[in-house]
Amino acid sequence: MKQPRYSRLAIKILLLILGASLLQAVLSGWITQRALRSDMQDLLIEQQTRINRNAVQLIDRELDIRQQFLATLAAQLALSGRASYPAAQRLIDSQRANINHYFPGGILILNDQGVAIGESTHVEGRLGTRYADRPHIKQALSSGQPNISKPIMGRTLNAPIISISAPVKNARGEVLGLVAGVIELERENLFDAAVNLTLGVPSRLFVLDTTHQIYVTATDPKLAMQPLPDSADSPLLAALRSGQSSGLLHNSETGGDDLFIADDMPHLGWRVVSLTALKQITDKLDPILSQRLIIGLIFFLLLALALVLLLRRAMNPLSAAAHQITEMMEGQRPIQPIRIDRTDEVGHLVHAFNQLSQRQQQQARELQRERDLLRSQFDQSSDAIVLLDVHSLQILEANPQCTRLLGYSAERLRGRPFAELLAGDQPPLPALLQQAMTEAGHCIMALLRQFGGSVHCEVTGASVGLPDQRQLMLNLRDISERLRNEQLKNDFVSTVSHELRTPLTSIYGSLRLVNSGVLHSQPEQAASLLQAAEENSQRLTALINDLLDIDKLEAGKLELKLQQLDLDQQLQDARRLLASTAAEAEVRLQLPAPHGLHIMADPQRFQQVLANLLSNAIKFSPPGAVVEIATQATEQQVRLVVIDQGEGIPLAFQANVFKRFAQADATATRQRGGTGLGLAITHSLVRAMHGAIGFSSTPGQGSQFWVSLPRVLPPNTYAPRSAAPDSNGSKAHE
Ligand code: ADP
């Protein structure tokens, strides 16, 4: 049988651990990813906030530098006394390099009327143009304070600009004119530094004039001076307009999630906004996560490999043990101990298994030996043996002796109901078996042979096998020969007895006549010899009568005249008949008080039963003892008990009391007389009269023999109920 490489348990453990670690890895990956994402987001907000602030500061500083520069120019012009064309031109020429640097869009110098009197880059028709209508110019001239204009379209440049103005004032504070620098929003370097600042991270920078609802600048120059869209079209503007200075936007300008940071430049009404796509974070996280994934995967594979090796090491001895058990059950081959040099639980288990399998093999060998022994006993037994199923009573097995006895082959007997083998006119099989199964009991069965006729067997039975597989083992001993011999013997005894009785009766009669002295008196010696001859011929007659009774009883030829008997009367008769015997033995017979009980029995045979029991009781009682007769009645039965105080019956003999010619002590009997047939006849007589007989006896203390016979209730008689005596320990024969 091919052994599976891994047991299912190992696969389950493997899957469980790998599944758990995979789940753990996925969960921790997910948590880490979320944490990383949130950390990155925080970092980004922090970074962008800082950058945005820097951008604001940079723009502020750039504007400030330019204002300072214009203020310096205004101060220099003021020194010249008044803002005149030559003075303005001289100033421009002297500062051209700085002017080009700070104001590539150029500067204008206006007089106190707001008329252009100087320009850094020549534009046709500009000089002499009056700019006092421009609100910021007008405001600077009237207030004498520097200012920065709102973004406007340059009149001559035709491009979006802002204008920075610095008033030229004399020592008395009178406004002499104005120096105005122009910053072209589309191409000016004002925001370059700020934009560059944000270019480090992939963000977009917007500068919005929220007061005037336009883009001041953006990374896309085309947007400059464009009106800001409605809030509905731009989540960013909606957030800004609602006063938020930072936050996350879903499906924003970049199409995904965006982070925005806004800083105000209140003096200008501008707002500097940086916008970063969150995708940047995920893009940065992805390599980290895939790195983690690869490391996790490698770890996972290593774990799986380690687990496979470990489980293989753990499970292989167990699989081997399971394999051994299978082979053990199939009885394939001798089991070799599994080699293992481990001291862990698996080691202990396998070690215990090795011991168990060795013991099991040893037991199996012993069992086999015993089975072989039993088999040979079964096969070679001189008794025929059959095994029956306890429930169906079918034949399971028959030994060779049985097949010889019955003539059937073992195959033909197997599976056959045993009852089919019973010859007719016998009690049913269960009743016979019950008799055969009693301890030390047996029954006689006549079994049919294959080729005709039957064989008489003495059958003893025993229950064998396991509790859930009980079988009946029947030993069949052929007793045909014995029965034939017994029959011959009985026939012989019967014939001899018959032949002897007639001459013996005549001898006995003659002797009685002689001994009675009616003829003439005998000499004393002859008289005693004749007396002995009479006594012996009387005993011989009694023996022959007993033998003939037995013969009749066994042949079922004894005719009984069952009739209603008055028990009191019967007991009186018995006492009268045995009075001389009792007197001789100096034993007193004690009858129960008359009670009017009636039984159904044959009068002559009932007297014979009483005579047997009473004569035995008298015979075995010491002189001066009392033999008592007691009666007990139930509704159905009358029980008669003969109680003596004699020597009792030896325990070893008690089982044989009712057998023929059985005597406890042959020597003593010879002194006391008796044939050993009395109780056998009594037993048969009681049974023939539908009664039961039994006894209990304690050696040294006496015996109690009881007889139960059917009770007859005279009409209109109420039978007093009296409990049957407890016959504990008494041997009953029904
Ligand atoms: P027997 O004619 O020898 O008395 P029984 O069949 O009547 O034959 O009795 C058989 C034997 O049983 C007796 O020999 C005796 O050993 C024993 N036995 C019978 N009755 C008694 C008794 N009452 N007390 C002691 N032993 C008894």
pLDDT tens per residue across span 611-670: 999 999 999 999 999 999 999 999 899 999 999 999 999 998 898 899 887 777 756 555
The answer on pLDDT for 196 being more than 90 is no
Q: Is the CB of 616 under 6 A from ligand 1?
A: yes
Q: What is the overall mean pLDDT for the chain?
A: 84
The dihedral built from the CA positions of residue 48, 53, 57 and 62, taken in this order, carries a sign that is positive
404: CA distance to ligand 1 center in Å? 43
Q: Which residue has the higher pLDDT, 254 or 352?
A: 352
Give the lowest-confidence range in 89-93, 392-396, 487-491, 641-645.
487-491
User: What separation in Å is there between the alpha carbon of 631 and the centre of ligand 1?
Assistant: 22
Residue 587 pLDDT exceeds 60: yes
Q: Would the CB of 703 count as within 6 Å of ligand 1? A: yes
Nearest protein CA to atom 8 of ligand 1, as residue: 676
What mean pLDDT comes out for the span 677-703? 93
Indicate the pTM of the whole model. 0.43
Q: Give the mutation target among 540, 553, 679, 697 for probing the ligand 1 site: most ligand atoms within 8 A of CB.
A: 679
Give the distance (Å) from ligand 1 centre to CA of residue 529. 29
Would you say 706 and 727 are in contact if contact means Cβ atoms under 8 Å apart? yes
Q: Which range scores top for mean pLDDT: 5-14, 175-184, 492-501, 513-522?
A: 175-184
Which helix (H) or strand (E) is 516 found in, with range? Answer: none
Of the two residues 683 and 250, the one the predictor is more confident about is: 683
pLDDT over 90 (residue 69): yes
What integer pLDDT is reported at residue 690 of this predicted model?
Answer: 92
**Ligand 1 centroid distance, CA of 696 (Å):** 13
Q: Whose CA is nearest to atom 2 of ligand 1?
A: 674
CB atoms within 10 A of CB 473: 17
The reported pLDDT for the residue numbered 337 is 80
> What is the Å distance from ligand 1's center to 447 Cα?
37
How far, in Å, from the CA of 702 to the mean position of ligand 1?
12
Q: Evaluate if residue 249 carries a pLDDT over 80.
A: yes
Q: Span 584-602, mean pLDDT? A: 94
Rounded to the nearest angstrom, the distance between the alpha carbon of 676 and the centre of ligand 1 is: 7
Closest C-alpha residue for ligand 1 atom 16 = 664
Q: What is the pLDDT of residue 99?
A: 93
Polymer length in residues for the chain: 734
CB-CB neighbours of 354 under 10 Å: 18
Pocket test residue of 547, 644, 661, 663 for ligand 1, highest count of atoms within 8 A of CB: 663
- What is the CA(270)–ligand 1 centre distance, in A? 145
Stretch among 93-107, 277-291, 393-407, 713-727 having the lowest mean pLDDT: 713-727
Does 664 contact ligand 1 (Cβ within 6 A)?
A: yes
3-state secondary structure 388-433: EECCCCEEEEECHHHHHHHCCCHHHHCCCEHHHHECCCCCCHHHHH
The mean pLDDT value for 415-433 works out to 90
Residue 676 CA: which ligand 1 atom is closest? 8
Percent of all residues in the chain with a pLDDT value above 70, rounded to a whole number: 91
Measured in degrees and rounded to the nearest 5, phi and psi for residue 588 equal: -100, 130
Q: Is the CB of 131 under 6 A from ligand 1?
A: no
The angle at the Cα of 606, spanning 602 to 611, to the nearest 5 degrees, equals: 155
Check pLDDT > 70 for residue 241: yes
- The fraction of the chain above a pLDDT of 90, given in percent, is 33
Q: What pLDDT score was predicted for residue 726?
A: 39
